[in-house]
Chains A and B, each alone.
Chain A
């Protein structure tokens, strides 16, 4: 029952996530809210990649977590294949999550270090009761093979591997249940450029092979450009620009988008002076997030299976 034609796979309408700021010695009172996501709307068609870009604290990751309900949205609607995700009960939510997965920046940080590679990749299969023990073992090997991770290392621990290899484990886990949508949350930000290219290529190949749909979240516009059909730019909890990738790059409308573009390091020393001037010109548009930390509180994200 794949959606086709004009029906988007995912539709987000006026999504809000407010974090209460508490104060008081004996009784916690909510004195104000951090409006991490403040009325965001967009849709993603099947097989498409939407890039979501912005500075730290712009609310881009929080948006991703709310779509999967790893965080409960404060308000707004998230429709996946026409179903309202925000109203689903536990059991239904679990079923929908088979179709929607996430890849984190550092999969190791979000996983139990005592689990082997095989446990990590196979856990979603166990939780969802897929196949027999033997079937699952075969499936785990197949998944590792697909992401270019040597399946003979299935009984090793993730800390034994480099960042790039660990990200392959994280991607294999996300693929385990044959999802339709994968939220990629800064999947290559912690990696060297050479490894980054391998992982980006892998994500492109998997998309072609399995017809995946991506919400690709990153702070680096060059990385987002490599992956996305359309791009949404987020600033202080709001979407400030949304359009086809080519257009957002060639003719950015917002000052903020221009500032993000000017910040990307370009491997051309002759353009250095020009870019420095450009950066100065647009710097004022960047959030003063650098000044004081009061940004969204550290949030505990539920384990996703």
Chain B
């Protein structure tokens, strides 16, 4: 049984302008000790998915309309707030893009860590402080014992993210959700944080969900990848297969948009940008939501009439498109293989 099983999750925002279908029928699972990457542009619903799992969506205007979030056999959607609080931080922890907004600027780092430890674990003040030092050392903050008495502004962006990771680890969670954990950081610091997360995941036998807009980040970090677009999953596969043979035109576009570091003609060439913007989720395109930006969708195509289903084009490789790479003319293999 998977550690986390999200089934047909729909989180909608009820606003004055209409119903925003931020997450619209999303299903995936995370195995114990594994890392799932969720990739997509801003506004595709990946963060709302994470917040829905955590029970942190703002209600109102948001509401989980349908779906289950089954964690170790319990459906978190049906839990009461008190019960959910016990799960949150204790069994599932989350870190965010900007650690400064999650840290209290007026409290010392040590106070903020021990607060979390003591809420979930039965430890004395002294024991909690000792545990806090261990945690800061584990996330490789130099002079951990002294630094407990510093305020957040004394830490650089990368160090603040390490503090957030330490707080997330405080109760040895089974699942860590990292929402754009390195987006605000330099590439050098990003690399260090990703390496740290991977080490910690192995040492604690923890599962992870990494949410990012950058295919380069999930290539390194994830075992399995889900690509989201306009509130839906458009492609899902294990990491090697997704990068070897991306199927959805949107996934291909995300890969093409990355600047290359090796090769010729980089300076003189252009990057492959995705034209247009993601659709309005109050009134998304009626059929395939990617059709208006898709290079393969023609005017009177089925995909502008009928919404494509998520289907398995190869064992374990799922695509929601009428035009996956493997079915295009001149593609690498005959259409419909292993369907």
Chain A interfacial positions (CB closer than 8 Å to B)? 55-56, 162-163, 192-198, 200-201, 204, 219-223, 225-229, 245, 249, 259-270, 272, 275-276, 279, 283, 286, 289-293, 295
Contacts and interface: CB of A to CB of B under 8 A. Distances in A.
B271 A201 contact: yes
B159 A265 contact: no
Contacts of B267: 225-229, 245
A286 B188 contact: yes
Contacts of A198: 273-274
Contacts of A56: 156-157, 186, 189
A249 B154 contact: no
Given A192-B41, A225-B261, A55 B186 contact: yes
Nearest to B140: A290
B187 A263 contact: yes
* Shortest Cβ-Cβ A-B pairs, 3 listed: A265-B216, A197-B271, A197-B257
B243 interface: yes
Given A226-B266, A276-B195, A293-B154, A219 B258 contact: no
A259 B188 CA distance: 8
**Dominant secondary structure of chain A at its interface with chain B:** helix
Contact of A275 (B213, B220, B259, B272): B220
A221 B243 CA distance: 22
Q: What class of interface size applies to chain B in its complex with A?
A: 35 or more
A264 to B, nearest CB: 5
B159 A290 contact: yes
Interface in B31-53: 41-42
B29 interface: no
B332 interface: no
A193 B220 contact: no
Given A193-B213, A289-B156, A201 B270 contact: yes
Contacts of A194: 41, 213, 253-254, 257, 273-274
B141 to A, nearest CB: 9
Interface string B215-235: 111011000000000000000
Given A201-B273, A225-B261, A291-B142, A267 B219 contact: yes
Contacts of B106: none
A192 B216 contact: no
Given A194-B253, A265-B220, A293-B154, A279 B195 contact: yes
B214 interface: yes
Contacts of B335: none
B186 A267 contact: no
A267 B215 contact: yes
Contacts of A267: 215-216, 219, 243, 255, 258
A262 B191 contact: yes
Contacts of A249: 261-262
